[in-house]
Amino acid sequence: MERLIIVVAVLPLVSALLIQLFAGRIGRSIARVSVAITTLSFLLSALLLSWALIGHSPQTLPLGNTTTIFLFDPLSTLLATIILGISLIVHLYSVRYMAEEAAYGQFFVLLDLMTAALLFMVIAGDLITLIIAWYLVGVILYFLLGQDTRSQTAYRFAFWTLITYRIGDLPLILAAALLYNAYGTWSLTTIFTEIMANPDAHQFLGLPLTEVVAALIGLAAFARSAQFLLHTWLPYTMDGPTPVSALMHAGIVNAGGFLINRFAPVFIHSGDVLNGIFVVGLITAVFGSLLMLTQNDIKKALGYSTMGQMGFMIMECGIGAFSLAIYHMFAHGVFKGTMFLSAGSVINDARHDDGIPKDELYTFAVEKRPNAASQPWLLMAAITLSVPLVILVFAHLLIAEDYFQKQGAVVLLFFGWVTGAQLIFATYRMRSQNIWRLVGLSVLSLVVVVLGYVVISHAFDLFLYPDPAFRAQLYAAATIDLLRFDVLVVITTLIIVSGWILTYYAEQNGYRRRQQTKRLWLNFYALISREFYISDIYTRLSRTILSISGRLNVWLRWL
């Protein structure tokens, strides 16, 4: 039964081969072949997932006498099902969307190859297979993004993506070489078993090998999941076909979260690296969310939204909530894939008729004109601060009484509280004629979302990491000094609460910003609209390097 997972990964390869061989004979029916085989592979993966859910133990599946090993475990079965589910939706969407493209058959070949590469990546049980699949994902994505060979922009940013991915490949290859040199095997299971038994057995340049490898894995994940300073490829790859954008933002960009989860036994002994991962994820989440708000192109806004969500996913890994990152990956993949596949219809409809009723929400969000009615600011401030906190605390106490003994859980609770309070705060700023109805609906939606999020994430935790001792070690590894942690939480809370209270008070009393404050906000907006000049810096740097290389060529007469 377990070996069906190999069949699941091989079927998309079979589909690509059949289309390549018989495209000239069956014509446009190649799409039916691709969809049918992808559907079969998805059904088999769902069967394997149900097999894992009923408690079947993980298995290593060697391929003959080779060093190739595949894994049947909760992580591989879950991600294989998610990948195939998203891929199937993209396949169905592409049947008509790509019908007028000249390279119709080539697109489905590449789509099947991408699906196969992603599947082999998540089921890989040895370092060689993992590296090969990891590398091929980047190469195939380059050809998918450059599907329209007439578009210079698409080609340029497809190449930009390829270069960024190659930067991320190097740390993973180096980590694999260090692990093989230390343990003499390519098998991930064997390496993890030895690390758990004796994590301090090996060193590299005077540092524990586990920390060095964890740092390298983190760097590889940063490049693949578009973390800050390695993110510029993601929002600019929008000239590729919409189905490719959907697959990339719903699945491919999540590879960083998978990689960190696959090497979870290494990160247990690398607390400082986890703290660094948390910081990078937090910065990425903030920058991605800010940049999303200033975009006037819907697909580019979705790109920066993905960047922000990937920051949250990496941040969750950094606090030890590895299984929560997988749940975030799944939820974001379904949501963002739907958004991208619907973007074209939204744009087309808006060109004819925006169809937006001029109600209170439209007036506030689009026209930036809140209604005149308002509520007592002190009462609304108290509701904003207390209601989300009560909901979050109650929901988490239902799941685990010791939840608040973990720093990572407290961090998640803190961000949940900020998000919930911001929802009520935004409702207040709308100044609706029936503010209590809106607040009531906001609170109700918050209760539903929080309860669902907590229950489902806890279920993911039990499924992916059933050993409670291992889960406790993950959270413990991400723990920092208690005094420093408490100080950071208190300072951040005071800053956020002060901002809310001042805004409530200012709006209640009709406060108007001074000209100097307005100028400051305009300068800040200009900085965000230029995306903090990071792309400009990279462009200038690349031109400088090309200029220097050209002069060297002339001086040394290489060409």
Question: What's the rounded mean pLDDT across residues 329-335?
Answer: 86
Give pLDDT, residue 478: 84
**What are the b/e assignments for 367-384, b being 16+ CB within 10 Å?**
eeebeeebbebeebbebb
What torsion do the CA atoms of 148, 154, 158, 159 make, to the nearest 10 degrees? 110
Q: List pLDDT tens digits, range 31-51.
A: 899 999 999 999 999 999 999
| Spatial contact of 343 and 302, defined as CB atoms under 8 Å apart | yes
Residue 309 has pLDDT above 70, yes or no: yes
Instruction: Name, in order, each residue with C-beta under 8 angstroms of 281's C-beta and a sequence gap of 6 or more.
Output: 227, 311, 312, 313, 314, 315, 316, 317, 318
| Pick from 450, 477, 484: nearest CA to 195 | 477
Q: What 3-state DSSP class applies to 71?
A: strand
Give pLDDT, residue 297: 75
Please compute Rg for the chain using Cα positions.
25
Q: Which helix (H) or strand (E) holds 207?
A: strand 207-208
Q: List pLDDT tens digits, range 344-355.
A: 676 666 666 655
Strand partners, 518: none
**What are the b/e assignments for 129-154, b being 16+ CB within 10 Å?**
bbbbbbbbbbebbbbbbbbbeeeeeb
Q: Which two tokens stand for residue 531?
A: 């995306």
Least confident of 133-147, 160-174, 322-336, 383-397: 383-397
Compute CA distances 161 → 155, 238, 483, 550, whole Å.
10, 12, 42, 24
Q: Tell me which DSSP letter residue 125 carries.
A: -
Residue 294 has pLDDT above 90, yes or no: no
Report strand pairing: 69-72 vs 59-62.
antiparallel
Q: List pLDDT tens digits, range 55-101.
A: 788 899 998 888 899 999 999 999 999 999 999 999 999 998 888 77
Question: What's the rounded mean pLDDT across residues 296-317?
Answer: 86
Least confident of 307-321, 398-412, 543-557: 398-412
Q: What 3-state DSSP class applies to 229?
A: coil
CA pseudo-torsion sign 113, 119, 123, 127: positive
Give pLDDT, residue 437: 63
Strand partners, 60: 71
Q: Domain limits of the chain?
A: 369-511
Question: What's the rounded mean pLDDT across residues 214-239?
Answer: 89
Strand partners, 124: 70
pTM of the model: 0.84
pLDDT band at 361 (very low <50, low <70, confident <90, very high): very low
Strand partners, 72: 59
Give pLDDT, residue 364: 47
The gap from C-alpha 19 to its chain's centroid, in whole angstroms, comes to 31
489 vs 331: which has the higher pLDDT:
331
Residue 17 has pLDDT above 70, yes or no: yes
Give pLDDT, residue 189: 94
Q: List pLDDT tens digits, range 464-508.
A: 998 988 988 888 888 876 667 667 767 777 777 776 666 666 666
In 10 A of CB 59, how many CB atoms?
15
Q: List pLDDT tens digits, range 415-451.
A: 666 666 665 666 655 555 555 666 666 666 666 666 6
Q: What 3-state DSSP class applies to 159?
A: helix
Compute CA distances 459 → 86, 268, 415, 455, whole Å.
21, 21, 21, 6
pLDDT band at 365 (very low <50, low <70, confident <90, very high): very low
Q: Which helix (H) or strand (E) holds 415?
A: helix 407-430
- Pick left, alpha or beta for residue 406 (phi over 0 → left; psi -120 to 50 → alpha; otherwise beta): beta
| Spatial contact of 108 and 170, defined as CB atoms under 8 Å apart | no
Instruction: Name, in order, each residue with C-beta under 8 angstroms of 466's C-beta and a sequence gap of 6 or more.
Output: 74
Give pLDDT, residue 459: 84
Give pLDDT, residue 238: 75
Q: Which two tokens stand for residue 521?
A: 């906000």
Strand partners, 62: 69
Cα gap 213→172, rounded to integer Å: 9
Q: List pLDDT tens digits, range 382-394.
A: 666 666 666 656 6
Cα gap 172→121, rounded to integer Å: 13
Report strand pairing: 69-72 vs 203-204.
unpaired
Q: Which two tokens stand for residue 248?
A: 């990339």
Question: What percent of the chain is modeled with pLDDT above 70?
Answer: 75
Give pLDDT, residue 386: 67
| Spatial contact of 346 and 298, defined as CB atoms under 8 Å apart | yes
